[in-house]
Structure 1
Amino acid sequence: MYKLLATDIDGTLINSKRELTDTTKKAIYEAYDKSCVILPCSGRGPLPLQDITDEIDLDLPLACFNGALVIKGKSGEILYEKAIDKQDAILAYNEGVKRDVGVIAWTFDNKLAFNEFNKFTEHYLSMANVKREDVIIIPEHMEIFDERISKVLWQDEVENMDEHVAYARNLLKTVDNNAMCATSQPFLLEFTHKDANKAEAIKHVADAFGIEHKDTIGIGDGLNDIPMIEYAALGIAMKNSHRETLDAADYIAPSNDEDGVAYVINKFMLGKE
Structure 2
Amino acid sequence: MGYRLIAMDMDGTLLNGDTKVSEGNAKALGDAMAAGCHVVLASGRMYASVQPFFEAMGLNAPVITYQGARVMGTRGEELYRKCVPMELAREILAYAREKDFYIQMYWDERLFYEERTNHTDYYEAKSGIKGTALGRGAFDHLTEEPFKILCMDRASRISEARRELAERYAGKLQVATSEPEYLEITHHEAHKGAALSFLAETMGVSQSDVIAVGDGRNDISMIRWAGLGVAMENASASVKEAADVVAPTNDEDGVAFIIRKYMLKQ
Taking structure 2 as the reference length, what is the TM-score of the superposition? 0.93
1:112-133 Cα offsets, whole Å, 9 max, x none, are 122432222332233343445x
For residues 143 and 101 of structure 2, the distance between their equivalents in structure 1, rounded to whole angstroms, comes to 23
Q: Distance in 2 between matches of 1:131 and 1:9?
A: 19
Structure 2 residue 201 is matched with structure 1 residue 207 = yes
Q: Does the 8 A contact of 1:97 with 1:115 survive in 2? A: no
- In the alignment, the residues of structure 2 paired with residue 212 and residue 257 of structure 1 have an alpha-carbon distance, to the nearest angstrom, of 30
Q: Counterpart of 2:133?
A: 135
Amino acid at match of 1:18: T
Q: For residue 97 of structure 1, give the secondary structure of its aligned residue in structure 2.
A: helix
Cα distance in 1, alignment partners of residues 249 and 127 from structure 2: 25
Given that 1:161 and 1:189 are in contact with CA atoms closer than 8 Å, whether structure 2 keeps it comes out as yes
1:103 aligns with 2:116: no
Is 1:161 the equivalent of 2:158? Answer: yes
Q: Hey, what does 1:63 align to over in structure 2?
A: 64
Report the equivalent of 1:172: 169
Pairs within 5 Å for 1:1-273: 1-73=2-74, 75-108=75-108, 110-131=109-130, 134-137=132-135, 139-140=137-138, 142-143=140-141, 145-173=142-170, 178-272=172-266
* Contact kept? 1:161, 1:186, Cα under 8 Å: yes
Question: Once superposed, what is the RMSD of the aligned Cα atoms?
Answer: 1.7
The alpha carbon displacement at 1:239 in A equals 0.6
Contact 2:159–2:180 (CA under 8 A) maintained in structure 1:
no
Gaps of 5+ in 2: none
Q: Which amino acid aligns with 1:182?
A: A
- Give, in whole Å, the separation in 1 of the partners of 2:5 and 2:136: 39
Asked if the contact 1:220/1:237 (under 8 Å) is kept, the reply is yes
Cα pair 1:222 1:245 within 8 Å, conserved: yes
Which 10-residue stretch deviates more, 1-10 or 151-160? 151-160
Conservation of the 8 A alpha-carbon contact between 1:112 and 1:135:
no
For residue 270 of structure 1, report the CA deviation from its aligned partner: 0.5
> Which stretch of structure 1 is more off in the superposition, 54-63 or 188-197?
54-63
Q: How many residue pairs end up in the alignment?
A: 265
Give the whole-Å Cα distance in 2 for the aligned partners of 1:248 and 1:53. Answer: 27
Structure 1 spans left out of the alignment, 5+ residues: none
Q: Is the 8 A contact 2:39 2:59 kept in 1?
A: no
Alpha-carbon distance in 1 for matches of 2:202, 2:168: 36
Q: Distance in 2 between matches of 1:62 and 1:49?
A: 8
User: Which residue type is aligned with residue 122 of structure 2?
Assistant: H
**Structure-1 separation of matches of 2:116 and 2:78:** 32
Name the stretch that deviates more: 77-86 or 163-172: 163-172
Amino acid at match of 1:43: G
Task: Confirm or deny: 8 A CA contact 2:69 2:80 kept in the other structure.
Answer: yes
Q: CA deviation at 1:234?
A: 1.0
Residue by residue, what CA displacement relative to the aligned partner does 1:238-267 show, whole Å, maximum 9, x if unpaired?
011122111111111111111000011111
Structure 1 distance, partners of 2:88, 2:151, is: 14
Instruction: Write the distance in 2 (CA, Å) between the matches of 1:115 and 1:91.
Output: 17
Name the aligned partner's letter for residue 150 of structure 2: L
Contact 2:179/2:216 (<8 A) preserved: yes
Q: Secondary structure at the match of 2:178?
A: strand
8 Å Cα contact 1:240/1:256 also seen in 2: yes
One-letter amino acid matched to 2:81: E
Alpha-carbon distance, 1:138 to partner: 6.3
Runs of 4+ more than 6 Å apart:
none
The AA in structure 1 aligned to 2:196 is: I
How high is the TM-score relative to the length of structure 1? Answer: 0.91
d(CA) in 1 for partners of 2:127, 2:92: 20
Q: Distance in 2 between matches of 1:208 and 1:25?
A: 25
